[in-house]
Structure 1
Amino acid sequence: MILIILLILFLGWLDFTLGRKSHHRNLRFYDFKKTKGDYNFYSNGSTLFDDMFEDIRCARESVEVLFFIVKTDDLSMHFLDLLQSKAKDGVEVKLVLDRFGSFRITPRKIREMREAGIQFAFCEKPSFPYFFYKMNRRNHRKITVVDNEIAYVGGYNVGKEYIGKDAIMGDWRDYHLRLKGEVVQELRHVFYDDWYLATGEEPPSSFPATSTAGQYEVEVCATDGGQLEDIFLSLIDQAEEELLIGTPYFIPSQRLFEGVLNAIQRGVDVKVILPLKADHAFVKEAGLPYLTRVVKEGGEVHFFDAGFYHAKVIMVDGRLCDIGTANFDRRSLFLNKEVNTLIYDEPFIRDLRETFLEDFESGRPLTEEWIRNRPFITKVNSGIGYLLRPFY
């Protein structure tokens, strides 16, 4: 029996290792460019979905949607029913969902959506070879585009827990953007790249100009298990005074970890916030060795305890910020498809910084005393989590 278990573990490790090598030999690289846009910021799911659903209700020509997770609760069904209604009205509706993240969507519902006129596809369906690796590689992007004029991108998936209606997780803190202007076309290109990979349909070569260009510089950064490490490291290395990191998981690569420590050593004020609660086994423990070192070197780490913290943000010196779908972990860095936005608008970043610091100051600090006296089981779980970090 033990030999069988060891053989299964070895085959899983071999599949994952070879699959990762194959993936990284065939990465999809994206061109990043600064463009113009206007934006609204959301940190409350109810407000976000009220506005997003209203924009979809007002759609006249097209709605393009890509999500990692859509569930089957009331909010999710309302969302899918709204898309069906628009498709019946003659609006062109395309919907792409990650195969594992949205596994709850039933064949019956899919048939119902297609009969209503929705063009639907699952993406990132596991297949041979490297089945285990492809199971782990997910499309973590969340994009909604309405009439080539409005786009949404950020950390929120679709489900009741994301509007604070989960008794276990409580209030859900996340960051999302509503964008207008030229940047909308950049997000459409990302959507249609995934649509092509899911359906085989060639994407449009270009899109009509948006009715407004937008005032502010915005840069869309789509990544496919590559490039993100360099993007994050560039942000960290630019920090001279302050580096703020918000993430649900802190499991960096060695390069990023050294970058954070170097920032502390050169006098940058480094603050990290992440949730006190964990939504996956061992994921919090996997981050503790890194967070412990950050604190010992002089950085500050606080745990958000007023619900679940799922925001993904990096702010540098109050002049540059990154908001999107990517976590500060190895899964986002090397496995998942992600899409982030870089924003250079200092008044916007100043307001965002205040929101960040309110959550940070209200959280529980990770102290050297707790580190010294942490329970033995926490140390054991940290060791297990550390071994599992390539999957996080």
Structure 2
Amino acid sequence: MKNRVVQLLFVFTIAAIMLIFLNKTIIPLSTLIGLLWPITLIGIAFVIFIENRSPQSTLAWFLVLIILPGIGVFMYLLFGRSHWRRRKHLHRSEERRVLFREILAGKSFDLENSLSLNERSTYLTQVIQKFGGGPVANETTTKLLTNGDETFTEILRAIENATHHIHIQYYIYRSDEIGTEIRDALIRKAKSGVIVRFLYDGLGSNKLKKNFLQPMKEVGIEVIEFDSILSPWLLETVNYRNHRKIVIVDGTIGFTGGLNVGDEYLGRSKKFPIWRDSHLKIEGKALFKLQAIFLEDYLYATSRLNTESWNQYMDRAYFPAQGIQQAEGAVQIVASGPSSDDTSIRNALLKIMGSAKKSIWIATPYFIPDQETLTLLRLSALSGVDVRILYPGKGDSIISDQASQSYFTPLLKAGVSIYSYKDGFMHAKIVLVDDEVASIGTANMDIRSFELNYEIIAVLYESKTVLDIKNDFEQDFKDSIEITWAAFQKRSIQKRILESLMRLISPLL
């Protein structure tokens, strides 16, 4: 890391000396910038044009470059460059990930399933697996964890009972009270001989300091940063973040869902004294796929995604595959990311929602759908399906909040019910269809989660947990205010203009 920083400083120093030399001897710096600036803008616009992006994305970039050229160039360098250059590196990673899955699939680990699902659920499991989802797993129990108290209590209990390994991965991990409590629990287990691997995203957890992480390293915990933002590859990695939240203990208990680690998730934030969120506890055969996803990310982040490195994980210590015989229903884990050729999670959710006969209920803190998702929801509502969207009454980002609300008009006109959670921030990411199939995970209902982030969801079929999700939805609707079409029409002209502007750049968010 230090060598890379030194290299960057050296390059910047040489560039600065050259500019000073040009300014004093050949051509004034102001004249040089005046010549290069329009060439840069035209060059970026041409590159965007020939990349054949979606019309919405192309138009959004053109508008930003025209209206705010300075900010536009900076945004493009950070977020806008085509996937191709980054994908050249990620493609090699994806090839190794696929090989890892194939080798892992060749291990039996007693994972044969004898499913007893209805026709619709069976069909969905088969199609979603073709879309890139994992195999469906029976003999798996799940427990819905509502809000931070339930979630962190269960996670800490599992950590305290660990005997072989603890794998922990978060997009945001804060060094506050709950973050310190979990860290100290990990340190205690590492001292007792348990293997601990701690993986955090370089952007989402960029505030983690050395003095917080060092005590973990000192007891042998592997502390790994996923795609550091302090590197020569900043411009290629900053837009592709690992948004997953995974905890796995001994390969027998796992967790995933909407909660990161931070005091705000316990309602300790002044801005959001009530933080509404949902997480999932998983036990049984579905952990096979969850463990594989963590190991893929861990081996990638440590530059050890190769056959020599992963062989040590191909045993029952990490994949015990202990089925829960009395479990009902089934679970299917679906993951996607920028290295994938297709948007597996988005395609899975479209297929699930498209199968609805009675209802589609969605909870999401950010709602920036692509055209296919928007059309599906509108047509479903027009055909008589009960479509509801549960959305924060108060968002944590003005830009994304206004962009999200710009999509409300066509939905409300089609008969979609939109509920504003009045008591605090709604951060859960859940889809419930016909009280029979549900998904819960890390993916928001937005373009970023579908195309740019590493995400994960668990799809639940005919499980008792699906009914618990329904009960939570019903309570949340009671704690919300329904946004009617008549009331939404009364918003000010200034708000409408702001929504429209944010809508234009929403493909960039």
Q: TM-score range by the shorter chain?
A: over 0.9
| Correspondence 1:219 to 2:336 | no
Q: Deviations over 1:65-116 (max 9, x none)?
A: 0011111111111111111111111110000000111111102222221112
Please state how far the C-alpha of 1:6 moved relative to its aligned partner.
Answer: 2.0
Please give the alpha-carbon distance, in whole angstroms, between the structure 2 residues aligned to 1:274 and 1:115: 43
Q: Which amino acid aligns with 2:135?
A: K
Q: Say which SS state the counterpart of residue 71 (structure 1) adopts.
A: coil
More helix by proportion, 1 or 2? 2
Q: 1-side partners of 2:267 and 2:75: how far apart?
A: 36
Task: Describe the shift of the 1:208–1:11 C-alpha distance in structure 2 as closer, same or farther (beyond 3 A).
Answer: closer
Q: Structure 1 residues 373-382 or 129-138, which shifts more? A: 129-138
Query: In 2 relative to 1, CA 309–31 (structure 1 residues): closer, same or farther, beyond 3 Å?
Result: closer
Unaligned runs of 5+ in 2: 1-29, 38-67, 99-131
C-alpha spacing 1:192/1:213, structure 2 compared with 1 (3 Å): same
Corresponding residue of 1:9: 72
Equivalent position SS for 1:370: helix
C-alpha displacement at 1:348, in angstroms?
Answer: 2.7
- 1:109 maps to 212
Does the 8 Å CA contact 1:124/1:134 hold for their aligned counterparts? yes
Q: Taking structure 1 as reference, are residues 71 and 305 closer, same or farther at Cα in structure 2, changes over 3 Å only?
A: same
Distance 1:244 1:13, change over 3 A: same
Amino acid at match of 1:375: S
In structure 2, do the counterparts of structure 1 residues 105 and 236 end up closer, same or farther at CA, with 3 Å as the change threshold? same
**Matching of residues 1-392 of structure 1 within 5 Å:** 6-7=69-70, 9-10=72-73, 12-13=75-76, 16-23=79-86, 26=90, 28=94, 30-36=132-138, 37-126=140-229, 131-132=234-235, 134-201=237-304, 202-203=309-310, 204-206=313-315, 207-213=318-324, 215=327, 216-225=329-338, 226-392=343-509
2 CA distance for matches of 1:191 and 1:259?
32
The Cα shift of 1:31 comes to 4.7
Change (3 A) 1:111 1:347: closer
Q: How many residues align?
A: 392
Moved more, 190-199 or 164-173: 164-173
Judged with a 3 Å threshold, the aligned counterparts in structure 2 of structure 1 residues 363 and 8 are, in CA distance, closer, same or farther, namely closer
**What is the aligned partner in structure 1 of residue 59 from structure 2?**
none
CA–CA separation in structure 1 for the residues paired with 2:322 and 2:415: 49
Provide the aligned C-alpha RMSD in A: 2.2
- Indicate conservation of the 8 Å contact 1:16/1:130, yes or no: no
In structure 2, what is the Cα distance between the partners aligned to 1:164 and 1:227?
33
Q: Which amino acid aligns with 2:73?
A: F
Q: 1:151, 1:178 within 8 Å by CA — same for their partners in 2?
A: yes
Whether the aligned pair in 2 keeps the contact of 1:74 and 1:160 (CA below 8 Å) is yes
Aligned-residue offset at 1:9: 1.9
The DSSP-based 3-state class of the residue aligned with 1:388 is helix
CA 255–21 in structure 1, closer or farther in 2 if over 3 Å, else same: farther
Instruction: Check the 8 A contact 2:380/2:387 in 1, yes or no.
Output: yes
Pair 1:371–1:23, CA change in 2 (3 A): farther
Q: Look at both structures and tell me which one has the larger radius of gyration over its CA atoms.
A: 2
Cα 1:54/1:128, change in 2 over 3 Å:
closer
TM-score (norm 1): 0.93
Q: Per-residue displacement from partner, 1:174-215 (whole Å, max 9, x unpaired)?
A: 111111111112111000000011102333245442333452
CA contact (8 A) 2:388 2:417 kept: yes
Following TM superposition, by how much is the alpha carbon of 1:274 offset from its aligned partner in structure 2, in angstroms?
0.7
Q: Secondary structure at the match of 1:166?
A: coil
Distance 2:501 2:194 in 1: 50
Give, in whole Å, the separation in 2 of the partners of 1:335 and 1:127.
Answer: 20
Query: Could you say which structure has the higher strand fraction?
Result: 1
Q: Distance in 1 between matches of 2:465 and 2:69?
A: 53
2:321 is matched by which residue type in structure 1? T
The alignment-based identity, stated in percent, is 27
Where does structure 1 lack aligned partners over 5 or more consecutive residues? none
Query: 1:304 & 1:264 partners in 2: Cα distance?
Result: 21
- Does the 8 Å CA contact 2:252/2:321 hold for their aligned counterparts? yes
Secondary structure of the structure 1 residue equivalent to 2:273: coil
